[in-house]
Amino acid sequence: MDKRNSALPLILLSEQFARLPGIGLKSAERLAYHVMNMPESEVKAFADALLNAKRTVHCCDICQNFTEDELCPICSDPRRDKATICVVETPKDIAAFERTKEYGGVYHVLHGLISPIDGVTPDKLRIKELLKRIDGSVGEVIMATNPTVEGEATAMYISKLLKPLDVKVTRLAFGLPIGGMLEYADEITLYKALANRNEI
Amino acid sequence: MDKRNSALPLILLSEQFARLPGIGLKSAERLAYHVMNMPESEVKAFADALLNAKRTVHCCDICQNFTEDELCPICSDPRRDKATICVVETPKDIAAFERTKEYGGVYHVLHGLISPIDGVTPDKLRIKELLKRIDGSVGEVIMATNPTVEGEATAMYISKLLKPLDVKVTRLAFGLPIGGMLEYADEITLYKALANRNEI
């Protein structure tokens, strides 16, 4: 935003929007102008939602998912199978698994993946909290990180830590996506689909 | 965001983001999660910037551009030629003209274009404020709305109101953009370029 011809608070707001991921300078400017056209009550509601989310939401003591209470709704649900832990990168991944309506176990959110190039070393993830959960009652840990370099590396790293704890460690199956076409599948997906073939 | 597995304040924040223009549900969710990872001081700065912009910025008494003071920097600059008024749709358009460094007059921001289909009737724009500025001292009003249906209609509507006030009303020139290629120009642009041709 042109500093000479615009009001300073508007420039500052625009800079705040531009700090958010995926919002460029032009969009940030557009959003700041949009805020100027919103009723003051709505702007207040937006500001309150920001502060409120940051102040009242924290990580579940057990699984590290975001929650307002001490435990998240999944960890505090007696119907969930506490013997199976699905390890995911972000709280958003939990929503994806819950949509399948097929998973009855609990989760563990790492809040990131190991990526030394971005300065994310294992101690920055919630790995200690996962290890603490592994007692005699846990039968299986499913490594459900994304099939990327960082996702694979993180799954391997954690599974090595889990092995001595006498717990079964599994990894999600990779292969052709349902509804996908063979001719559009990349080589690695097709290789995985072939290598992991099942008898029918 | 899945209401059963996420904290309510996070859902509310995500809904606030989704109300902004150009931000869909998925992006809104991503932004809400991003806020959770920001330090509280930064979230506070963001919330303050929102409230501060809305509370301290208002429209310039003369040209309706956004400003913190009674008059905007352009209207209060004695070097600007007050006899020439460039009429634009939004404050952002002023920044575009200022970047040319060629315009020495002042502006008038309509804050919209006439668009009955969206419920924007002429009384919702800052047209009265423009007419009030037309006294003997104003020599020319440049209609600088976009070359769209609404922009043209608004320019025509205002120029009809200005005609009886004995002021010269002009419209931006339309033609080939500099650096543009003839073969890629649309028919209307090419027609305008032909119709408005100049002797060299």
- Put simply, the chain A residues between 82 and 121 with a CB less than 8 A from any chain B CB are 90-92, 94-95, 98-99, 111
Contact A5 B73 (CB under 8 A): yes
Mean pLDDT of B56-82: 93
Residues of A in contact with B38 (CB under 8 A): 54
Residues B51 and B145 in one domain: no
Distance from the B137 Cα atom to the nearest Cα atom in chain A, whole angstroms: 24
pLDDT band at residue B8 under the 50/70/90 scheme: confident
Contact B66 A36 (CB under 8 A): yes
Contact A6 B55 (CB under 8 A): no
Q: Per residue in B5-26, is it b (16+ CB within 10 Å) or e — as a string? A: bbbebbbbbbbbbbebeebeee
The total domain count for chain B is 2
Contact B91 A33 (CB under 8 A): yes
Residues B52 and B131 in one domain: no
**Token pair for residue B178?**
């500099």
Report yes or no on B42 lying in a domain.
Answer: yes
Q: How many CB pairs under 8 A join A and B?
A: 161
Report yes or no on A3 lying in a domain.
Answer: no
- Put simply, the chain B residues between 3 and 22 with a CB less than 8 A from any chain A CB are 4-10, 12-13, 15-16, 19-22
Residues A32 and A90 in one domain: no
Query: Which residue on chain B is closest to A99 by alpha carbon?
Result: B2
**pLDDT tens readout for residues A175-189:** 888 877 778 888 888
- Put simply, the chain A residues between 17 and 46 with a CB less than 8 A from any chain B CB are 19-22, 27, 29-36, 38, 40, 42-46
| B108 neighbors B90 (Cβ within 8 angstroms) | no
Residues of B in contact with A53 (CB under 8 A): 7, 9-10, 12-13, 32, 35-36
| Interface ipTM | 0.76
Residues A160 and A88 in one domain: yes
Report yes or no on A113 lying in a domain.
Answer: yes
Q: Say how many CA atoms lie within 13 Å of B101 toward its Cβ.
A: 0
pLDDT given at position A3 = 53
Residues B155 and B190 in one domain: yes
Residues B155 and B193 in one domain: yes
pLDDT given at position B4 = 56
Report yes or no on A87 lying in a domain.
Answer: yes
Residues A190 and A131 in one domain: yes
Q: Looking at residue B147, what DSSP letter applies? A: S
Contact B6 A45 (CB under 8 A): no
Q: Which domain holds residue B141?
A: 78-199
Query: Tokens 């041709």 label which residue?
Result: B197
Residues A176 and A105 in one domain: yes
For residue A150, give the nearest of A188, A177, A110 by alpha carbon.
Answer: A110
pLDDT given at position B16 = 95
**pLDDT tens readout for residues A108-151:** 999 999 999 989 999 999 999 999 999 889 999 999 999 889 99
For residue B2, give the nearest of B29, B38, B33 by alpha carbon.
Answer: B29
pLDDT band at residue B5 under the 50/70/90 scheme: low
Among B7, B16, B37, select the one facing A67 at the smallest CB separation: B7
The CATH number for A45's domain is 1.10.8.420
Residues A135 and A37 in one domain: no
Residues A105 and A136 in one domain: yes
Q: Looking at residue B101, what DSSP letter applies? A: T
Residues of A in contact with B34 (CB under 8 A): 20-21
pLDDT given at position A197 = 80
Report yes or no on B66 lying in a domain.
Answer: no
**Token pair for residue B90?**
């939004």
Q: What predicted TM-score, i.e. pTM, was given to this entire model?
A: 0.75
Task: Determine the Cα–Cα distance for residues B115 and B124; give it in Å rounded to an integer.
Answer: 10
Check the CA dihedral A24-A30-A36-A38 and report its sign.
negative
| A28 neighbors A15 (Cβ within 8 angstroms) | yes
Among A15, A90, A99, select the one facing B33 at the smallest CB separation: A90
Residues A164 and A102 in one domain: yes
pLDDT given at position A18 = 95
Report yes or no on A50 lying in a domain.
Answer: yes
Q: Say how many CA atoms lie within 13 Å of B149 toward its Cβ.
A: 3
Distance from the A86 Cα atom to the nearest Cα atom in chain B, whole angstroms: 15
Residues A50 and A134 in one domain: no
Which residues, in sequence order, are CB contacts of A198 under 8 Å at separation 6+? none
Query: If you write DSSP's letter for every residue of A135-196 in order, what string do you get?
Result: STT--EEEE---SSHHHHHHHHHHHHHHGGG--EEEE---SPPTT--GGGS-HHHHHHHHHT
Check the CA dihedral A141-A142-A144-A148 and report its sign.
positive
Which residues, in sequence order, are CB contacts of B194 under 8 Å at separation 6+? none
The CATH number for A149's domain is 3.40.1360.10
Q: Count of CB atoms within 10 A of residue B31's CB? A: 21
Residue B6 has pLDDT above 80, yes or no: no
Report yes or no on A69 lying in a domain.
Answer: no
Contact A53 B35 (CB under 8 A): yes
Query: Which residue on chain A is closest to B55 by alpha carbon?
Result: A40
pLDDT given at position A173 = 85
Report yes or no on A52 lying in a domain.
Answer: yes
